């Protein structure tokens, strides 16, 4: 039996997506290319060179999608804005069609009593901005702040929650250090620059926002990692600290401590291209912190590995679609760590949590002979149920957790994996673009309808 957690009345439950992963319509109504369109063309970078040109076609189907969200009972939708749809070629000229699309999307959400939660940057940078150096170039931070300024002006009356940037760690570590995400760069110097410029962009956006007088909360979303050391050995604990400094501290310390982690500045002797008021700008107060959580690592010390960290084996069951260990207990540790780190008062939202499973549609016949397609994604139900139970526990332990967004509303383009990994609670038949709610969608419907005990 699954436990069905009862959550506080005002606990916000929504689903999340990102523009590049769901919208499609890549060449329509003025949108120009982004770095993921380009990266998909690099042989070997993305599964079968698949790209987001059609994706789940949400650009044409947002009404249907929002109606389904409403029917299931969700209170919010987290979406992101495609930068080159608003500012083609990364220029300064606003594409009215793009603005109109997001205004209509927000209005439709409001019509169905859902909150519009808008992420300003979820990785689809215009190709032209990348050509000038992307995040390794300081100017990019100002360019993104310019996009934000436009969005505050054009969508400010409709957006209920703003997220400046999604997962600075993935943008920089995967994109500039390991080279496995767009733009595919492997260069420590560019990596360090990109870290600082992404942090700066966040600060500039918040600064811009405070000038507008808008009152919706603004925050940032990080995929924080606080791994467990594989033993009580002091060295394994140091390895865990190193991992946390690189994966979380590089992005959290500038905001909350106005500095970079000591491990990187004092031990690794890294320098960052910090200019006069940068740390002041980056560390401006935010209204909430978003956390994306999928799994917790176990780490151990290595004399030779980068940052002295290697991954240790884990014992937990893995998700059937992508093989990530299912570690709800790690979410509790992370939430408690984050709450203590931020002082216990700052509202926290889980802005992504979910599982890619090996979903198999089956045709079922009812007594009257009619046929329906069903997806019995029991592993995902267990995953969501266990993580929601942890939310309940965290709240009991005084973590100021205010809401939860499931990743994802619908199956979509999973970056380098193309369309092979399905994270949706709604199945997307990419041939027909038909949407089929999986059992997990009905599970969340029941949680939201109050069947929590």
Tell me, letter by letter, the H, E, C secondary structure of 190-242: HHHHHHHHHHHHHHHHHHHHHHHCCCCCEEEEECCCCCEECCCCHHHHHHHHH
Shortest reach from residue 409's CB to ligand FCB, in Å: 12
Cβ-based nearer residue to ligand FCB, 137 or 172: 172
Backbone angles phi and psi of 54, in degrees to 5:
-115, -45
| Residue bearing tokens 């970056």 | 415
Q: Work out how close the CB of 423 gets to ligand FCB at its nearest, in angstroms, rounded to a whole number.
A: 5
Nearest approach in angstroms of CB 359 to ligand FCB is 15
- Read off φ and ψ for residue 325, nearest 5 degrees: -65, 140
Give the distance, in angstroms, between the CA of residue 450 and the centroid of all CA atoms in the same chain.
27
Which residue among 23, 167, 393, 414 is the active-site one? 167
- Nearest distance from residue 39's CB to ligand FCB, in Å? 14
Q: Which helix (H) or strand (E) holds 429?
A: strand 426-429
Residue whose CB is less far from ligand FCB, 52 or 400: 52
Most distant CA atoms of the chain, gap in Å: 73
The dihedral region occupied by 324, where left means phi > 0, alpha psi between -120 and 50, and beta the remainder, is: beta
Q: How far is CA 362 from CA 162, 326, 371, in A?
A: 39, 25, 10
Written as six digits, the tokens of 276 are 């006069």
End-to-end CA distance of the chain: 12
Helix (H, G, I), strand (E, B) or coil at 277: coil
* Cβ proximity of 448 and 72 under 8 Å: yes
The answer to whether the peptide bond before residue 408 is cis (omega within 30 degrees of 0) is yes
- Note the residues at the interface with ligand FCB (CB under 6 A): 18, 21, 166-167, 170, 223, 292, 352, 407, 414-415, 423
Buried b / exposed e along 198-225 (16+ C-beta atoms within 10 A): bbbbbbbbbbbbeeeebebbbbbbbbbb
**Which contacts qualify for 363-370: CB closer than 8 Å, 24 or more apart?**
none
Give the number of residues written for the chain: 453
Closest separation in Å from C-beta 1 to ligand FCB? 28
Q: How far apart are CA 434 and CA 420, in angstroms?
A: 17
Q: Do 290 and 251 meet the contact criterion of CB atoms below 8 Å apart?
A: no
Least Cβ distance, residue 123 to ligand FCB (angstroms): 7
> With respect to ligand FCB, which residue has the nearer C-beta, 121 or 152?
121
**C-beta of 229 vs 290, nearer to ligand FCB:** 290
Least spacing, CB of residue 13 vs ligand FCB, in Å: 18
Q: Is position 296 annotated as part of the catalytic site?
A: no
Closer Cβ to ligand FCB, 166 or 389, answer by number: 166
Based on CB atoms, which residue is closest to ligand FCB, 273 or 418?
A: 418
Query: Which of 154, 296, 352, 393 does the annotation list as catalytic?
Result: 352
What is the DSSP pairing of strand 218-222 with strand 115-121?
A: unpaired
Structure tokens given for 441: 């969608």
21 or 339: whose CB is closer to ligand FCB? 21
Q: Minimal distance in Å, beta carbon 212 to ligand FCB?
A: 26
Name which of 144 and 170 has its Cβ closer to ligand FCB. Answer: 170
Active site residue 29: no
Which residues are part of the catalytic machinery?
Answer: 167, 352
């Amino acid at each position: 039996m699954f436990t069905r957690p009862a959550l506080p009345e005002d606990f916000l439950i929504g689903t999340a997506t990102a523009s590049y992963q769901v919208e499609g319509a890549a060449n329509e109504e003025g949108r120009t290319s982004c770095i993921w369109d380009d990266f998909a063309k690099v042989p070997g970078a993305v599964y079968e060179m698949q790209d987001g040109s059609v994706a789940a076609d949400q650009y044409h189907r947002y009404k249907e999608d929002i109606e389904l969200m409403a029917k299931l009972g969700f209170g919010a939708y987290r979406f992101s804005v495609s930068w080159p749809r608003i500012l083609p070629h990364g220029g300064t000229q606003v594409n009215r069609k793009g603005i109109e699309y997001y205004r209509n999307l927000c209005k439709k959400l409001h019509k169905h009593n859902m909150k519009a939660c808008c992420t300003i940057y979820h990785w689809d940078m215009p190709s032209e901005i990348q050509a000038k150096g992307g995040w390794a170039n300081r100017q990019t931070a100002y360019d993104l702040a310019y996009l934000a300024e436009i969005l505050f002006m054009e969508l400010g009356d409709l957006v209920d929650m703003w997220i400046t940037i999604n997962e600075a760690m993935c943008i920089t570590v995967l994109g500039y250090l390991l080279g496995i995400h767009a733009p595919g760069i492997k260069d420590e110097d560019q990596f360090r620059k990109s870290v600082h410029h992404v942090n700066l962009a966040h600060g500039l956006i918040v600064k811009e926002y405070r000038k507008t007088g808008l009152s919706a909360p603004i925050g940032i979303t990080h995929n924080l990692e606080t791994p467990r050391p594989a033993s009580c050995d002091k060295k394994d604990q140091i390895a865990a600290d190193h991992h946390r400094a690189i994966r979380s501290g590089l992005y959290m310390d500038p905001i909350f401590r106005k500095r970079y982690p000591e491990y990187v500045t004092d031990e690794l002797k890294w320098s960052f291209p910090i200019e006069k008021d940068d740390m002041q700008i980056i560390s401006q107060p935010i209204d909430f912190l978003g956390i994306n959580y999928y799994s917790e690592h176990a780490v151990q010390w290595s004399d030779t590995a980068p940052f002295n960290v290697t991954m240790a084996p884990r014992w937990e069951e893995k998700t059937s679609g992508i093989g990530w260990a299912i570690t709800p207990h790690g979410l509790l540790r992370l939430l408690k760590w984050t709450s203590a780190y931020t002082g216990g008062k700052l509202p926290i939202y889980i802005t992504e949590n979910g599982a890619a499973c090996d979903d198999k549609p089956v045709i079922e016949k009812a007594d009257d002979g009619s046929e329906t397609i069903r997806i019995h994604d029991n592993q995902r139900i267990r995953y969501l149920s266990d993580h929601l139970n942890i939310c309940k526990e965290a709240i009991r332990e005084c973590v100021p957790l205010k809401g939860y967004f499931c990743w994802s509303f619908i199956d979509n383009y999973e970056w380098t994996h193309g369309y092979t990994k399905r994270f949706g609670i709604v199945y997307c038949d990419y041939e027909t673009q038909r949407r089929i709610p999986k059992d997990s969608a009905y599970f969340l419907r029941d949680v939201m309808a109050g069947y929590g005990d």
